[in-house]
């Protein structure tokens, strides 16, 4: 009887399973709400989009509340292959991807400039931070005015270089130009590059912030050792500073690639995909054919979204693999 009471007391004194595993449980208590939202708003829509891409549907239901979607299999993907607008959008995405990468080295050099102790540096930093904190919509509007051939900076500079000020019979000031001012956003050849230039402005600021954070963690003893060995200038930057900025470079490249592939805001604000669809990218073309007032082809738009998702999945998988290899190599 005494032994039974002793065992019972020991069992009562033993901590519960939750108490024994609280360190393992605690992270999941914070992660589970985020995972639920991620599943509802990301994972499930991805699979729904994949499934919808196999149908032809205009978004309507019949009088009984049943969907009017028609199964077409891979017919939407076959149509994509012969759709010139799709290939234009894909080519523009490639241009965004290549030219957007300029944000990484430019952001690095601006960070190196700002990582100094000179008079007025706080003011300079705030000026370079400014593009990062304003909305993409505002950036698009600013550059839309900037490119305007009548009253924008481009038009003003052009008038100063190639135009002569005259006065008409009514006494109004006019300009007689040897050649017309370029309307960048109305040119099928140059509009895409004008939008990319506008998108680079805040992206450079973002990369600059990443590099400024990385420069604060550069080992001062390695810098001093390199100076004692005679390293300076480009050699110091390339062999001592840049290797220590590898984590910041990795994040900057990942964010820049994803930003280039999901470019939508600037195009919607500045050209709406025009002129003649020449500035469309996959994300905006998907919106155009599926959701806009000219679209309502949800199945076809989902097939465009699936292609874009496949491209992004390829890059994200590659970056995760590189991250895993780096972590594996440091162990």
Q: Report the C-alpha gap between 220 and 223 in whole angstroms.
A: 5
**330 band by pLDDT with thresholds 50, 70 and 90:** low
Q: Report the C-alpha gap between 284 and 281 in whole angstroms.
A: 5
pTM over 0.85: no
Q: What is the pLDDT of residue 3?
A: 56
Strand partners, 55: 71
Q: Report the C-alpha gap between 246 and 323 in whole angstroms.
A: 11
**76 band by pLDDT with thresholds 50, 70 and 90:** very high
The mean pLDDT value of the chain amounts to 84
Neighbours of 27 (CB within 10 A): 9
Structural fold of domain 83-147+183-330 = MetI-like fold (1.10.3720)
Q: Looking at residues 150-159, what average pLDDT do you find? A: 84
Q: Looking at residues 203-227, what average pLDDT do you find? A: 86
**236 band by pLDDT with thresholds 50, 70 and 90:** confident
Say whether pLDDT at 12 is over 60: no
Q: How is the chain split into domains, by residue range?
A: 83-147+183-330
Element at 175 (helix H, strand E)? strand 173-177
Q: What is the pLDDT of residue 155?
A: 83
Using one digit for the tens of pLDDT, what is the confidence trace for 98-116? 999 999 999 999 988 888 7
Q: What is the pLDDT of residue 10?
A: 53
For residue 250, what are its two tokens? 């990795």
């Amino acid at each position: 009887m005494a032994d039974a009471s002793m065992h019972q007391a020991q069992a009562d004194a033993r901590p519960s399973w939750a108490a024994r595993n609280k360190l393992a449980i605690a992270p999941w208590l914070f992660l589970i709400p985020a995972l639920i939202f991620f599943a509802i708003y990301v994972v499930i829509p991805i699979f729904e989009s994949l499934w919808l891409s196999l149908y032809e549907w205009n978004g309507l239901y019949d009088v009984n509340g049943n969907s009017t979607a028609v199964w077409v299999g891979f017919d939407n993907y076959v149509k994509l292959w012969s759709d010139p607008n799709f290939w234009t959008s894909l080519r523009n995405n490639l241009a965004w991807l290549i030219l957007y990468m300029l944000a990484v080295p430019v952001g690095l050099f601006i960070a190196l400039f700002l990582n100094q102790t000179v008079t007025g540096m706080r003011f300079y930093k705030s000026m370079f931070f400014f593009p990062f904190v304003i909305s993409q919509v505002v950036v698009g509007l600013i550059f839309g005015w900037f490119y305007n051939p009548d009253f924008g900076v481009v038009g003003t500079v052009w008038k100063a270089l190639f135009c002569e000020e005259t006065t008409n019979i009514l006494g109004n000031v006019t300009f007689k130009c040897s050649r017309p001012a370029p309307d960048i956003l109305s040119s099928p050849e140059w509009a895409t590059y004008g939008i990319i230039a506008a998108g680079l402005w805040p992206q450079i600021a973002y990369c600059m912030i990443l590099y400024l954070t990385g420069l604060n963690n550069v080992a001062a003893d390695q810098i001093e050792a390199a100076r004692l060995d005679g390293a300076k200038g480009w050699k110091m930057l390339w062999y001592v500073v840049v290797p220590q900025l590898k984590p910041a470079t990795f994040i900057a490249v990942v964010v820049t690639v994803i930003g280039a592939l999901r470019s939508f805001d600037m195009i919607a604000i500045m050209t709406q995909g025009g002129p003649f669809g020449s500035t469309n990218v996959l994300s905006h073309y998907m919106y155009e054919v599926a959701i806009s007032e000219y679209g309502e082809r949800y199945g076809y738009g989902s097939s465009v979204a699936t292609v874009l998702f496949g491209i992004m999945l390829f890059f994200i998988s590659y970056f995760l693999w590189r991250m895993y290899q780096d972590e594996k190599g440091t162990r």
